[in-house]
Amino acid sequence: ALAARESKFDLDGLLALDTKRREMIGRVETLKAERNANSKQVAEAKKKGADASEIIARTKAIGEEIKAIDADLALVEAKIADDVMVIPNIPNADVPVGLPDKNKEVKHWGERKTFPFKAKTHWELGEALDILDFPRATKIAEPHFSVFKRQGARMVRALVSFMLDLHTTKHGYVEIFPPFLVNRDSMRGTGQLPKFEEDMYKLAADDLFLIPTAEVPVTNLHRDEILNESDLPVCYAAYSACFRREAGSYGKDTRGLMRVHQFDKVELVKFAKPEESYAEHEKLLADAESIVRALGIEYRVILLSTIDMGFSAAKCYDIEIWAPSLGRWLETSSVSNFEDFQARRANIRYRDAGGKVKFVHTLNGSGVALARLIATILETYQNEDGTVTIPAALRPYMGGMEKIERK
């Protein structure tokens, strides 16, 4: 599996450490058993008023030895724990092996939008309609932030409500509104740490992180918990702002809303039984697709290859939407099954019908991310006069408005 991801991880080194660990545990536990037996003898001797000084002296020496081995063992275990944290998940057998050119398009929906006039990009439309303001976003924060204004701001709010309503009333998700800052344990639980710390916005004084996705707080809701089998699958839908440093990604394809440091997203998270997780994965994908479909946007679904897929995922689909003026696909959703990868890190388990405790499988998918979706809506629904028709599904959330016009 590591080879399929072209990982350089030293597996033999880890296995050698594990052998060493077991050997040390065997030795130290034998000594502890002896100490326990001796202590019991001391207690009995004292009860009878007999002299126990010889056993006590002998046991003290055993104690010194235990202390020394335990200290070494702690070092070995810490090293193993560190090493294990940077091993990526094992890809599912369905996942094509190789570079992103092995990605597989598994679905294509919708008609290609064409225009009998010169189509504008979303940033041209947004500026002309006075609903997007990038220069001022840069002034108050820095480049690659955005300001939404008037019907633009209203559309953000409308999309969030539309998506959450659909997922909670039609798809059976429970709505969550999580913290946008989380601690280190949470970031480790879902796999952002320790490997990707530089990609995260961090509040050093408090050792808290701005969430890159609601997946982090929502999955960690059940960290260190044992769920009931009868409650599975647990399905949550959560809106959050998402914060990403996007370090090293400056350059091409970053104009307008294509790649921003802060965006809004409705995230879907599931906790499922292992034997059901792949069926839940397909349902999750369908739930995410239903959003872009309801908005009448051309999209395709890509099954990502082993190397394109994220560190924590066992299998991942991306939903890409067509931005007609840009003439390119924009990723607006990533739908992943993590199997028990996150569950092991975050210690999320369930008790099965036989009373056995097992790791759950966790899944999540964007349902969906807003910035690129808004870019695509503006470009897809633009009219020759520079106005933008509001997709019918969204109108009830925008006061019945049919068009975005310059005021």
- List, by residue number, the catalytic residues: 244, 259, 331, 334, 372
Q: What residues between 295 and 334 interact with RNA by CB under 7 A?
A: none
Task: Pick between residue 32 and residue 79 the one whose CB is nearest to RNA.
Answer: 32
What is the gyration radius of the CA atoms in the chain, in angstroms? 27
Question: Which region, judged by CB under 7 A, interacts with RNA, from 35-43, 128-136, 278-286, 399-407?
Answer: 35-43
Query: Which tokens belong to 31?
Result: 């000594």
Task: Pick between residue 42 and residue 97 the one whose CB is nearest to RNA.
Answer: 42
**Beta carbon of residue 185, minimum distance to RNA (angstroms, whole number):** 10
**Beta carbon of residue 194, minimum distance to RNA (angstroms, whole number):** 18
Q: Is 153 in the site for RNA (CB under 7 A)?
A: no
User: Could you say which of 42, 76, 80, 87 contacts RNA (CB under 7 A)?
Assistant: 42
User: Could you say which of 9, 14, 20, 39 contacts RNA (CB under 7 A)?
Assistant: 39
Q: How far apart are CA 315 and CA 310, in angstroms?
A: 9
200 within 8 A of 212, measured Cβ to Cβ:
yes
Quick one: which H or E segment has residue 353?
none
Q: Is 38 in the site for RNA (CB under 7 A)?
A: yes
> Phi/psi of residue 349, each to 5°?
-130, 175
CB proximity list for 404: less than 8 A, separation 6 or greater = 129, 131, 151, 152, 155, 387, 388, 390
Distance (Å) of CA 340 to CA 89, 100, 262, 272, 275:
9, 24, 29, 10, 12
Q: How far apart are CA 265 and CA 141, in angstroms?
A: 20
With contacts defined by CB under 7 A, how many residues of the chain interact with RNA? Answer: 28
Q: Is 174 in the site for RNA (CB under 7 A)?
A: no
**Beta carbon of residue 327, minimum distance to RNA (angstroms, whole number):** 45
CB proximity list for 274: less than 8 A, separation 6 or greater = 339, 340, 358, 359, 360, 361
298 within 8 A of 321, measured Cβ to Cβ:
yes
Task: Pick between residue 56 and residue 84 the one whose CB is nearest to RNA.
Answer: 56
User: Could you say which of 60, 104, 403, 406 contacts RNA (CB under 7 A)?
Assistant: 60
Q: Is 36 in the site for RNA (CB under 7 A)?
A: yes
Q: Is 181 in the site for RNA (CB under 7 A)?
A: no
Q: Is 355 in the site for RNA (CB under 7 A)?
A: yes
Query: Which tokens belong to 126?
Result: 């947004």
Question: Which region, judged by CB under 7 A, interacts with RNA, from 131-139, 326-334, 350-358, 381-389?
Answer: 350-358
User: Could you say which of 20, 35, 79, 202 contacts RNA (CB under 7 A)?
Assistant: 35
Task: Pick between residue 26 and residue 399 the one whose CB is nearest to RNA.
Answer: 26
CB proximity list for 229: less than 8 A, separation 6 or greater = 273, 350, 351, 352, 353
* 189 three-state secondary structure: helix
Q: Is 185 in the site for RNA (CB under 7 A)?
A: no
Which residues are at the interface with RNA (CB under 7 A)? 22, 25-26, 28-30, 32-33, 35-40, 42-43, 46, 56, 59-60, 63, 67, 74, 226, 349, 351, 355, 357
